[in-house]
Amino acid sequence: MRVVAALLVAAGALAGCSTGIPATAPPPSPTAEPNAAVGTATATTSAAEAGGPALTDTNGAAVPPAVADGVRRIDAALRSGTTASVRDLYEPSPGAAGWARTASRLDDPTHRARLVTALRNPPQPRPEIAYLYSDGDHGLGITGDGKLAFVGVGQKPRPASSGAAIPAGTYLGHGRSLAIDASGRGTYTFRTYDECPPDTPGVPCEYRGPEQVARVTLQVSGSNARVLTSNDEPEVPTGSTLPIASPRPGVVTIGRGDAATTFCGDGVSDQDCGA
């Protein structure tokens, strides 16, 4: 019996040792992958906080890589002021303004600042394009492959009174001018933002730096302006007819929708006339 008791005591002692000091160390806690994920999320958040364009839409989904690349390039061009580099990304949707008018809008620092702000807001998925980045009445339409479909800067013409005549005079806008005489004959000049040699055949280039080299003659009759001659065929072809209106004294608009251009008479201020 003493032998059995001794054996029982020894067994109990061994059991106590195996409980207090495990034979092998426990496996490490599986925290490597979650920590890596947290690190990636933190990096993404930091990039957003650094002021880059929004890359997650209003539904919380990430935009495709091509869209992300396109908006980054557009954002960099707008912030640097080198908007000519946007031209390679500009593929206007039907009814959108041509490059010359779009470039004149991007050339305005006030418009650029608002468009940069628009790129920081989550874009809306849209059926007619892929995404719309907007800030109030300023917006950029982006296609699924990262191209710029249109630029909106609140330049849609205001309703004009029925049959309102356009008074003779000289009207100006940023990078453009319009002169109309008493007979309704008008001369419209504007910048093309094409450096020589011209990138597009038929479009006049700015061979002496920034200047209004595009020249269009018009015949104004009521609410229409017929193009008599033009040296900027892709933008305002000869023989075409443009709507023209005077929404308020001293202000004239030519064109329709997003392609409308606004001019101001002497001493008249309008945000769409630009600097």
Pair (127, 175) in one structural domain: no
pLDDT score of 164: 52
Residues 6+ apart with CB under 8 A from 101: 190, 235, 255, 259, 261
pLDDT score of 206: 85
Tokens representing 248 are 């308020």
Alpha-helix runs per DSSP H in the chain: 2-20, 32-49, 65-80, 99-106, 109-119
Number of separate domains in the chain: 2
Segment-wise mean pLDDT, segments of 10 residues, the chain, 275 residues: 41 40 47 41 40 92 96 93 86 82 86 93 90 90 93 59 70 92 92 80 80 91 91 82 89 83 85 71
Pair (90, 122) in one structural domain: yes
What is the C-alpha to C-alpha distance for residues 189 and 97, in angstroms, rounded to an integer? 16
Domain boundary among 94, 124, 153: 153
Tokens representing 225 are 């302006």
User: Which range marks the domain in which residue 76 is found?
Assistant: 65-153
Alpha-helix runs per DSSP H in 144-197: none
Contact call for residues 61 and 225 (beta carbons, < 8 A): no
Contact call for residues 265 and 250 (beta carbons, < 8 A): yes
pLDDT score of 50: 54
pLDDT score of 120: 95
pLDDT score of 181: 92
Pair (192, 128) in one structural domain: no
- Considering the domain boundaries, does residue 147 fall inside one? yes
- Considering the domain boundaries, does residue 112 fall inside one? yes
pLDDT score of 43: 38
Nearest to 272 by CA among 118, 114, 148: 114
pLDDT score of 195: 82
Pair (176, 236) in one structural domain: yes
Contact call for residues 131 and 67 (beta carbons, < 8 A): yes
- Considering the domain boundaries, does residue 107 fall inside one? yes
pLDDT score of 144: 94
Domain boundary among 127, 153, 179: 153
pLDDT score of 179: 94
Residue pointed to by tokens 């005077």: 246
